[in-house]
Structure 1
Amino acid sequence: MRTMTATEASRKFSELLDAIEHGETVTITRGNHPVAEIGPARLRTGADLEAALADLPPLDPDVEKDIESALALLTNEMSDPWADD
């Protein structure tokens, strides 16, 4: 794992991103104290979402109706009250 100071990371940002793109995790320090770790972004999948939601309680049965009602408000054809007639 590479370590860079905050100043070095700022001045060599493109180099920092190249290292991360190649799989490195870089620790950024300020005053000899680590303040951040930057690593490659993880690709997210539907399985990740399913796992994140697995422990949540089921939705209230009325939620679907509430969503439909909210969407209906957004899609209603209403005249623009500020339009010049």
Structure 2
Amino acid sequence: MKTVSIAEAQDRFDELAQQVEKGETVTVTRDGRPVFDIVPREGVAQKKGGIDWEAGQAYLRSIGIKDPFPYIADDFDDPLPEDFLLRPLP
């Protein structure tokens, strides 16, 4: 745990924030007495963004959706036939 004065914390706030992001706790003092702590939020230091697909599927199952993507055809992203593209709109 790191201890800094309020004046030092104001001058080096960005650096202290980076240390807190890495999981360190910083105690800020006034006249040598602790005033407050800057602490990492639970789960923030360890978790690195991205989509948690398993959690999403678990949620969908919990609300009654068995499979959110039941079927996607193999040719889903193939180009459309030329005759379809040249046909006028209705």
When normalised by structure 2's length, the TM-score is 0.46
Higher helix share: 1
When normalised by structure 1's length, the TM-score is 0.49
When Rg is computed on C-alpha atoms for both structures, the one with the higher figure is: 2
